[in-house]
Structure 1
Amino acid sequence: MAEDGAAGGRPCPICEEPLYKRHCKYVCPQHGVIMDCADTFWN
């Protein structure tokens, strides 16, 4: 599992860039926060 700040996880649904995991959020470098790990749809 990726550590906080590590890239290479799920792709951004908008631009396909690898998302960074920050705390309990997945962040796209282009679009900002894409999803929260509490969103059951993404788990």
Structure 2
Amino acid sequence: MSDEVPAGRPCPRCGTPMYHRHCKYVCPNHGVIYDCADTFY
């Protein structure tokens, strides 16, 4: 079972839907975009 769930939130760099993995949003093209440490998250 994968812990990646399509979040639907678009990547701010390319617009591709990102995946929500644990406490991070991951773009398939750019890697981690947001994580729990980001205050603007």
TM-score bucket (shorter structure): 0.7 to 0.9
What's the RMSD between the two structures over aligned residues? 1.3
Q: Which has the higher helix share?
A: 1
- Which runs of 5 or more structure 1 residues have no equivalent in the other structure? none
Q: Which has the higher strand share?
A: 2
Q: Distance in 1 between matches of 2:5 and 2:20?
A: 6
Q: Which runs of 4+ in 1 moved over 3 A?
A: none
What count of residue pairs does the alignment treat as equivalent?
39
Question: Percent of pairs identical after alignment?
Answer: 69
- Which runs of 5 or more structure 2 residues have no equivalent in the other structure? none
User: Structure 2 length normalisation: TM-score?
Assistant: 0.77
Structure ID, larger Rg: 2
